[in-house]
Structure 1
Amino acid sequence: MQSNNIKTIKWLTYLMFMMFAMTTDAVGVIIPEIIREFNLSLTAAGAFHYGPMAAIAIGGIGLGFLADKIGRKKTIIIGLALFSTACGLFAVGNTFSFFLFLLVLSGLAIGIFKTGALALIGDISKTAESHTKTMNVAEGFFGVGAIIGPFIVTALLASGVNWKFLYIIAGGICIVLCLIAALVAYPVRTQVNTEQINLSRTFSILKSPYAIGFSILIALYVAAEAAIYVWMPTLLKDYTGSYTWAATWSLTIFFTFRACGRFLAVWFLNLVNWKIAMVVFSAAIAICYLASIWFGLEVAVFLLPLSGLFMAMIYPTLNSKGISCFPKHEHGAIAGVLLFSTAAAASFGPMIMGVYSDWMGGEARHGFVLAAGFAFLLCAGCVYNWLFDPTDQHIKEIENLEPPIDVAK
């Protein structure tokens, strides 16, 4: 029974990751449409991305403790129910402000149920290594959702159907996941004093050097990655070279590489130390960005999508190692902290790129100069982590303190 429950929980988590990626990572395809529909600047249209990302950040840092206080199950159900409501309301509106409000509401919901899901992964993982592999699989399903979302939007637009039906479809899927979440049995954890589980404790976790270090690395990675799925379609929309097919399908190619890379990471982590892999892959990302800037769109049309393969392992591994630095009864809070860092970077990174690009004349290529800078800083951080290895012994000590997993009906 325990084994079956854990498998069900894993699949529920994987499908949740896939479902919300369908909406968040399709925004790069939607932005050019709303620019035309509502006559917006790059900065204003980018609110479709950094609006919900800011809400995810607020939900993560402000409500992440709920997963520890009221339990993973209730937290996940509350988040999924709120998300499905926000998606369903897309059917009744037609203004930019209303759509932006719904995206912000859905972002808050993601912040709630994702912290619950991340904490749940910690509950069912026996070691930091298994936690990292499960996180890579979960993010692999996120990558699949990131392929499905833009594909659905492209298919809808080609058929003359409004892009907002993507959210209605996602809302329907979310209702099914909510029902599954209500029925499945969850791991039984050692109860702690819930009076101490609040926002103040989340802020106390922020003082930890492990939380600070992983938050910075995650923020640098996400800011660099977000440049691809937010601004790459805009960068390549006027490409007229010999490889127009690559420009047309650039985002799908990027997401395909990223998804495949995350599933391959589970195998790759058995062969190569994660710290060395992080150095190599972060350096490859930085090189892709620099070469794209230096050689122009003829190179960027290939190297920017290819960067997804090198990005694949970085985020789930950083997220996993950061969470593993804390005991399981604090996984909801630390997941919220890292999710805040993720969403804040995903919000402000593209926003800064959009503002800078508008300031430089309205060409998206200028923002990729900033993205290259983020990538090089990430690489420097990974080199430091490899040389000084500040977390290995601490994670082992945390593992030795954890009780065995128990799953009740």
Structure 2
Amino acid sequence: MQQSQGTLIRWLTYLMFMMFAMTSDSVGEIIKEVKVAFDVTNAQASLMHSLPMLGIALSGLLLGFLADKLGRKPTIILGLGLFGLACYSFLLANDFVFIVALMSLSGIAVGVFKTGALALIGDICSSTKQHTATMNGAEAFFGVGAIIGPLLVAWLIHQGVAWQYLYVIAGGMCTLLIIIAAFVKYPENRKPVTASTDKVSLLKSLKLVKNPYALGFSLGAFLYVAAESAIYVWMPSYLVCDATTVKATYDCYTDGAARQLAIYSVTAFFILRALGRFVGIWMMARLNWALVLMLFSGAIVLCFGVGLAGGKQVALFLFPLTGIFMSVIYPTFNSKGISCFERHQHGSVAGVILFFTAAGAAFGPLVMGLVSDAMGGDAKYGFMVAMGFATILFLGLLYNYLYDPTSKRLSTIEASDYGAPSQS
């Protein structure tokens, strides 16, 4: 019975990640529609991505402790409830400011239920290696949602249905998840923090920012997401042949297969990223995680550099290909960062990492949009900024591989929290 409950909890977590991805990773396709409907600039349109990410960031940092204070179940249900409310409100959204406001509200909600879900993963795992594999599984389902979302938006628009109904569909999924979460029996070893420590829970969470393990993995997550977001936010704008026309054109791709790839480039990226994450469940249980991340981050820099040098015709293939190399980086950052701390701190440290994650997702595309606008609106210049983020990430992961600064800490946690020799 206990094993079946654990399996149900694991699937509930996976589905939460998938639902969130359906909305967040559709933003590139939605931006194309909103730019035409409301006549906004690249920088203004990027607020549809940056402000929700800012909401996730602040929510993760300031409310991440709720998973440790209130318990996993109440935190998850609270976040899902707020997310569902925001999704259903899109039925009334016909103004740019209102749309951005609802997206920002959904971001705050995600920060609440995602930190609860991330903390819950630690409760149902028996080792740091299993934690990393489970985290890759959760992010694999996130990748599946990232495939479904853009395709659903494209299908809705093709059928003459407003893209806002993507959020209505997500709201229906959210309602179902709330019902499931309410009746699932969560692990009993995660008790709420007592009243005597309520006042310092937020302060303790904020102090984790100074911790070298939390800060190191958080900065890595910031750099990774800043580079990754260039693909799904700005690649659709970069690959079109003439960005000045109202309707996207792909006439510069003479080959039919290349033209189709340009149209569905984001979907191709998400498919490769999802496949990579499913493989990552196997990979991270058997290989040296530091070596894999170092090599994969170097491959990302190479894809960006050669893609930019070769122009749209080369970037068409190399930019989506980065999905394979990006696949395992973020879930491993999340897992190893959380695993450097005792279980009763998992909610708080997950919130800190989520803060930097969302900050990178907010900051990266905004800076890319501003730089592109300053250079005449060409998204190529934004990708140069993204390549800079990827290069710094590679250098950091090269240092991590050569000096292995987390090995001793992970060994200590493996012995104290999981009662087993280190296998990190």
Match of 2:104 in 1: 104
Match of 1:195 in 2: 196
Q: Deviations over 1:254-273 (max 9, x none)?
A: 00000000000112224421
**2:230 is aligned with 1:227:** yes
Task: Give the superposition deviation at 1:342.
Answer: 0.4
Q: Distance in 2 between matches of 1:331 and 1:137?
A: 18
Match of 1:181 in 2: 181
Q: Which amino acid aligns with 2:398?
A: V
Task: Give the superposition deviation at 1:230.
Answer: 0.5
Task: Give the superposition deviation at 1:403.
Answer: 6.4
Report matched runs for 1:42-191 at 5 Å: 42-189=42-189, 191=191
Moved more, 315-324 or 271-280: 271-280
Give the number of aligned pairs: 404
Q: In the superposition, relative to structure 1, how do residues 108 and 190 fare at CA in structure 2: closer, same or farther (>3 Å)?
A: closer
Equivalent of 1:310 in 299, 310, 325: 325
Q: Which amino acid aligns with 1:32?
A: K
Match of 1:371 in 2: 386
**2:242 is aligned with 1:241:** no
Report matched runs for 1:289-308 at 5 Å: 289-308=304-323
Equivalent of 1:213 in 216, 228, 244: 216
Q: Which amino acid aligns with 2:51?
A: G
Match of 2:247 in 1: none
Task: Give the superposition deviation at 1:194.
Answer: 4.9
Q: Deviations over 1:347-384 (max 9, x none)?
A: 01100000010011111111000100111111111111
**2:302 is aligned with 1:287:** yes
Q: Deviations over 1:273-324 (max 9, x none)?
A: 1111011100000000001111100000000001001000000001100000
Q: In the superposition, relative to structure 1, how do residues 275 and 403 fare at CA in structure 2: closer, same or farther (>3 Å)?
A: closer
Q: Distance in 1 between matches of 2:303 and 2:190?
A: 46
Provide the secondary structure at the position in 1 that maps to 2:174: helix
Task: Give the superposition deviation at 1:399.
Answer: 2.3
Contact 2:62 2:206 in 1 (8 A): no
Contact 2:126 2:418 in 1 (8 A): no
Q: Which amino acid aligns with 1:365?
A: K
Q: Deviations over 1:27-69 (max 9, x none)?
A: 0101011000000000001111111010000110010000000
Match of 1:274 in 2: 289
Provide the secondary structure at the position in 2 that maps to 1:125: coil
Q: Which amino acid aligns with 1:394?
A: R
Contact 2:228 2:326 in 1 (8 A): yes
Q: Distance in 2 between matches of 1:267 and 1:323?
A: 20
**2:261 is aligned with 1:260:** no
Provide the secondary structure at the position in 2 that maps to 1:256: helix
Task: Give the superposition deviation at 1:195.
Answer: 3.5
**2:371 is aligned with 1:356:** yes
Q: Which amino acid aligns with 2:378?
A: E
Provide the secondary structure at the position in 1 that maps to 2:210: coil
Task: Give the superposition deviation at 1:95.
Answer: 0.6
Match of 2:12 in 1: 12
Q: Distance in 2 between matches of 1:93 and 1:41?
A: 20
**2:335 is aligned with 1:320:** yes
Task: Give the superposition deviation at 1:189.
Answer: 1.9
Q: Deviations over 1:318-350 (max 9, x none)?
A: 110000000010000000000000000000110
Moved more, 197-206 or 243-252: 197-206
Provide the secondary structure at the position in 1 that maps to 2:411: helix
Q: In the superposition, relative to structure 1, how do residues 114 and 155 fare at CA in structure 2: closer, same or farther (>3 Å)?
A: same
Q: Distance in 2 between matches of 1:131 and 1:263?
A: 14
Q: Distance in 1 between matches of 2:92 and 2:227?
A: 35
Provide the secondary structure at the position in 2 that maps to 1:206: helix
Q: In the superposition, relative to structure 1, how do residues 397 and 193 fare at CA in structure 2: closer, same or farther (>3 Å)?
A: farther
Contact 2:127 2:418 in 1 (8 A): no
Provide the secondary structure at the position in 2 that maps to 1:16: helix
Match of 2:410 in 1: 395
Q: Deviations over 1:6-36 (max 9, x none)?
A: 1000000000000010000000101011000
Provide the secondary structure at the position in 2 that maps to 1:305: helix
Q: Which amino acid aligns with 1:285?
A: I
Q: Which amino acid aligns with 1:398?
A: I
Q: Distance in 1 between matches of 2:265 and 2:314?
A: 12
Q: Distance in 1 between matches of 2:315 and 2:64?
A: 38
Q: In the superposition, relative to structure 1, how do residues 396 and 271 fare at CA in structure 2: closer, same or farther (>3 Å)?
A: closer
Provide the secondary structure at the position in 2 that maps to 1:257: helix
Provide the secondary structure at the position in 2 that maps to 1:318: helix
Q: In the superposition, relative to structure 1, how do residues 270 and 129 fare at CA in structure 2: closer, same or farther (>3 Å)?
A: closer
Q: Which amino acid aligns with 2:377?
A: G
Unaligned runs of 5+ in 1: 405-409
Q: Percent identity?
A: 52
TM-score (norm 1): 0.97
Q: Which amino acid aligns with 1:323?
A: I
Q: Distance in 1 between matches of 2:180 and 2:190?
A: 24
Task: Give the superposition deviation at 1:241.
Answer: 1.8
Q: Deviations over 1:101-135 (max 9, x none)?
A: 11011000000000000000011111110000000
Q: Distance in 2 between matches of 1:323 and 1:270?
A: 17
How large is the RMSD of aligned CA atoms in angstroms? 1.1
